Structure 1
Amino acid sequence: MFFNKFFERLINVNTAVIFLITALVIGGSSFAIYYIEPEEFGNPFNGFWWVMTSVTTVGFGDYVPDTVPGKLYGVFLYLVGIGLISIVISKIIDFMYVYNRRKELGKLVYNGREHIVIADWSKHAKIAIQEILNTEKNIEIVLIDQFEETPYHHDRLFYVRGNPVEKEVLEQANINEARAVFIFPNEITISGEYIHDPSYIDGKSLLIATSIQRHFKDIYTIVEVKERNNIHNFTHVEVDEFIVSSEMISQLAVRSAFSRGTSRIVSQLLSKRHGEDLYEIPKRPSWRTYREAYMDLLEEGATLVSDHDDLNINHKLDEHIPEDAQLFVICHEDTYHKISGKEAK
């Protein structure tokens, strides 16, 4: 009865106090059992080993008290120590549950760096998340939206619940340390009804981009818009890249109609889940012209296709490569790692 009330009160005690009491009991018992039976235990560390195997009920039996005082202290340790360790373990489990639950609900602050921030959840955002996770094995993603809990579960996905227009929400996503931010258009609701008008949807993306650029000017920003005509509304915002989703789909559909298999080729180049992919590589000091780079890369199993967004490499092979060149090749992942001097992970 006494021990039941004692442990009921302990459970309700502050977690830090419980940890402190447990540490004092374990540490004190390690010295106490050594003091009681120095010949048996030899040093306090052996006493600590005996205490831990006792309170965790492992009981290897390599150290056993021989005297009556030692055995009585062992009984005390069983009654008190095991109860304390059980409470500590339950507190740790509770902490892990609460942490994971708060993470799912988007209530935690993200402290990582070089991550990708995605503003607003959509089908395109889901595809982008899957592609990012497949592209780099260590990169983390922070998704910002207003769902009650995360719509996508993954060890490397961190959810922040809130309006991406608000500075506090962007700071919670640690956007200032992010590698890039993607803004995906998503259908908005007014009075519970979905609004499908591209102007309203792109207007929301404009508002998010404006807020990001006002508070965090140096973040590389990529915005997907529903209609190309709406891009001019972003002129006062420093958006680095625009993606017109409706145009890309329509153009790809037309290409596939005239040249069968076009969509499959483009999909393979854009996705890490299929064959050879598109990669950016650094310029080598030994390369003076595009021809030198083209021929070297070809021998290594890669094809040079563009510098920045210029695809006319074949028409200027004898031109000098500028220092700020951004070269892209098509090759297998293993070849890319060899070319870029990186080891495959």
Structure 2
Amino acid sequence: MPYHFFNSFFRLPLFIRVLIIALIVIILFGSFIHVIEPKQFPTLFDGIWWAIITASTVGYGDFVPTTISGRITGIALIFVGAGFLATYFVGLATAAVTKQNELLEGKSMFKGKDHLIVIGWNERTREILHTLYSNNKNITIALIDETLEKNPLPHMNVHFIQGRSNLDKVLMKANIFDAKKVIITADPNKGELQADMSSIITLLAVKGLNREVQCIVEILTSEQVANAKRAGADEIVQTNILTSFVIINSISSQQLVTSFLDLLNQLDRRNLSFKPSVPEIIDMTFIDLSSMLLKEGILLLGIKRGEETWLNPPHPFTITDQDQLIVIMNE
């Protein structure tokens, strides 16, 4: 029995063990001074109070031993108790600093729920996090990256986790089981094909642990889009297609590109979303529905039907119960 007790005791963190020992020493000395000098310390609490003040070297002077044995007890308490209390406070401060360093260096486990996990650090990630944080200060984000040495955005609500994103232990440290969405960005330090393969492997690891979590994956090469879909990607962002569109059209029409980029900036400040079809709009034409929604301040851009997306479809185009409306709503 004593062996198991001491074994459990020594498994406790150092500052907790020191605190327990310090409390035992203070109670013992407080009880002892109450016994040998009952006139100066009429209650047990007075003795413990004196022991705490003496061990902490504060010394109020409201309770003072007068006998030789009492003063020897006080000397012993200063030598023993003060050392334990000082060790405790040093241990407490060390634990706090260690915890802070673990948070900054990405070694601490994330314990939140319904959060967004962003995998990979690059300039796109920086812009994504700044935009998300500016739109919603309460959003909780877990950032996973193996190249960073510390949290790049400590002033924001971003929990950094250092490690390879395709490892189960790293994903579990980000609490992948309770995540709401996962964004996987392409690694800028690798070639396009290698970056896509790395993203797909990470996607497989994420879906292997939590098949229900929604995953948005950045794919650079068109050849790997099908593989990303097979791996379970819910949304695929082909950034190279957008870049090529801007460069090609800038050759023929700079005004078109400028207007397109301005449109993207405006969409960033508005609510672009999908709305499901309701029974009231079934069999309505796109033009009639667009006019009706416009009166409500909602701009109808197009229709998503299965895997196809129709922007401003030709007349007559009727709405079905499986359609999703692509709309822009004012904030």
TM-score (structure 2 length as normaliser): 0.68
Question: What does residue 263 of structure 1 align with?
Answer: 261
147-156 vs 250-259, greater mean Cα deviation: 250-259
Where does residue 5 of structure 1 map in the other structure? none
**Structure 2 spans left out of the alignment, 5+ residues:** 1-12, 282-288
Structure-2 residue corresponding to 1:243: 237
Q: Distance in 1 between matches of 2:127 and 2:199?
A: 18
Change (3 A) 1:235 1:279: closer
The DSSP-based 3-state class of the residue aligned with 2:271 is strand
> What's 2:179 paired with?
178
Return the offset for 1:176.
1.3
Against the structure 1 CA distance between its residues 281 and 237, is the aligned structure 2 distance closer, same or farther, given a 3 Å change threshold?
A: closer
SS at match of 1:100: helix
In 1, Cα distance between equivalents of 2:179 and 2:150: 20
CA-CA distance at 1:212 after TM superposition: 1.9
Matched residue, 2:166: 165
Cα separation, 2, equivalents of 1:125 and 1:78: 56
**1:34-183 mapped onto 2 (5 Å cutoff):** 44=45, 55-56=55-56, 61=60, 64-65=62-63, 68=66, 72=71, 76-147=76-147, 149-150=149-150, 152-154=152-154, 156-183=157-184
State how far apart, in whole Å, the 1-side matches of 2:193 and 2:31 are: 74
Displacement of 1:223 after TM fit? Answer: 0.3
**2:198 matches 1:204:** yes
Q: Secondary structure at the match of 1:186?
A: coil
Task: Report the CA distance between 1:71 and its aligned residue.
Answer: 7.5
**In 2, distance between residues paired with 1:264 and 1:21?**
67
- Which digits, 9 at most, give the CA deviation of each residue in 1:241-283, with x for residues without a partner? 111112223445648823445424422432xxxxx43276999
User: For residue 179 of structure 2, what is the amino acid of its counterpart?
Assistant: A
What are the within-5 Å matches in structure 2 for residues 281-300 of structure 1?
Answer: 295=295, 298=297
What is the rounded CA distance, in whole Å, between the counterparts of 1:148 and 1:41 in structure 2?
A: 62
How many residue pairs are counted as aligned between the two chains?
Answer: 296
Name the CA distance, whole Å, in 1 between partners of 2:270 and 2:162. 34
Q: Deviations over 1:83-137 (max 9, x none)?
A: 3222111111222232233334433332222222222222222222223333332
Query: Kindly tell me: are residues 329 and 29 of structure 1, through their superposed partners in 2, closer, same or farther at Cα, counting changes over 3 Å?
Result: farther
Return the offset for 1:187.
3.5
What's the secondary structure of 1:68's corresponding residue? Answer: coil
In structure 1, which of residues 216, 224, 229 is the aligned counterpart of residue 218 of structure 2?
Answer: 224
Q: Could you tell me which runs of 5 or more consecutive residues in structure 1 were left unpaired when the two chains were aligned.
A: 1-12, 189-194, 271-275, 333-345
Q: In structure 1, how many angstroms separate the alpha carbons of the residues matched to 2:145 and 2:215?
A: 17
Matched AA of 1:169: V
Aligned mates of 2:184, 2:96 — CA distance in 1: 32
Q: CA deviation at 1:182?
A: 0.9
Structure showing greater radius of gyration is 2
Specify the alignment match of 2:271 in structure 1: 278
Structure 1 position 22, deviation (Å): 1.7
Does the residue aligned with 1:235 lie in a helix, a strand or coil?
A: helix
Counterpart-to-counterpart distance in 1, 2:225 and 2:310: 24
Q: Which residue is equivalent to 1:335?
A: none
| 1:165–1:108 CA distance, 2 compared to 1 (3 A) | same
2:286 equivalent in structure 1: none
